[in-house]
Structure 1
Amino acid sequence: MTELLFNPDAWIALLTLTFLEIILGIDNIVFLSIVSGKLPQSEQPKARRIGLILAMVFRIILLFGITWVLSLQNVLFHIDWGFFKAGITGQSLIIFGGGLFLLYKSVTEIHHKLEGSEDSEAGKASNTLSSAVIQIAALNLVFSFDSILTAVGLISMKSPAEGGFGYEGALVIMILSIIISIIIMMIFAGPVSKFVNEHPTIQILGLSFLILIGVMLLAEGGHLAHMAFFGGTEVNSIPKGYLYFSIFFSLFVEFLNLRMKKSKNPVKLHNNKIIDKSLEDTDITN
């Protein structure tokens, strides 16, 4: 531990991994903001805290069970239907299932916000803290697998003599990076959620990002299972750099739009309980 403390490479690895954990956690914060935004104001901070604590706990548990996590890359069974071939692994099932869940949840949320379905009894019944925590926990499990595999690929577990940090050293670096990144996300989760829920265009943009991430998870799950169609056209994963560049560029454009339209009153989505201010002065009796 003392050698690790005074090792510049260890500090660089910690900072790099912490930064990556925060970047990879952006989709988690967006999902937290959307789900917690449907709860009463008093319960929203609690839902965000529980969600981020669950993310930290899942990641640390998976780190201690890294051997089991890596074993999920082993093929469970093969599929060969002529036009479709795949070698299904535990990891591909988890990633693919998470992508399907994210696509379903994102499309459903967009429908609710635009069509006003949240005002129905079924919609109200689902807007509870326990329901939000279950949804957050399910998605956190998928994001945790992705985060841990990224960390393991970045931090060398070779012995110090071989140029690595050793198993214990690498584990310490990864756990510290997770704790630091979650603390930072906890600090900014409140302001980010408030900003997202106050701007309908940001909400729809955030849900669109989640659709993109869901598609990325589907492609990654297919790639991990070596899915191939029609005699050898194999599914490839989508580089995360392209995806996050498009997300940040879209946010940059939207921030410019918000500054230009700051003096105008935005149209509120159905879950915000506030209608367009231009309608407030309209005499509905006419």
Structure 2
Amino acid sequence: MSELFALAQSPEVWVALITLIVMEVVLGIDNLIFISILTNKLPPENRERARKIGIGLALVMRLGLLATVAWIVQLTQPVFTAFGAEISWKDMILIAGGLFLVWKATREIHHAMDPAHDTDSPVTAHRAIAFGNLSAKRANGA
């Protein structure tokens, strides 16, 4: 109990908590805007249901991701040593995430510079926007 009281008195903990709250609010607003933009492209009778499902899934995913990050931060036991540095699972996950971001950014820049050669892009695919089976049938003319 005294450890919890000591944490509550630490300014670093309060700054981290306030930072996390601000980030969650900003990301939550971003989710609302993004879901609203996407659902406005649906037929009017499906928009409300799609918004509720989208916001619900965004909330569940955010909580799941926060739990995953809290778990990853605890993976500090060294797995192996490379170049005189002890590498843990947390380090490997962060390195893999960084490499993914570099790869994704490079691919996006390449696509922006030469979009004609990018055949894997979902932007080039022509699909009807639909929500559920009912909307897909309407979009396809059934």
Output the TM-score relative to the length of structure 1.
0.25
Point out which structure has higher relative CO (alpha carbons under 8 A, 6+ apart): 1
Output the TM-score relative to the length of structure 2.
0.45
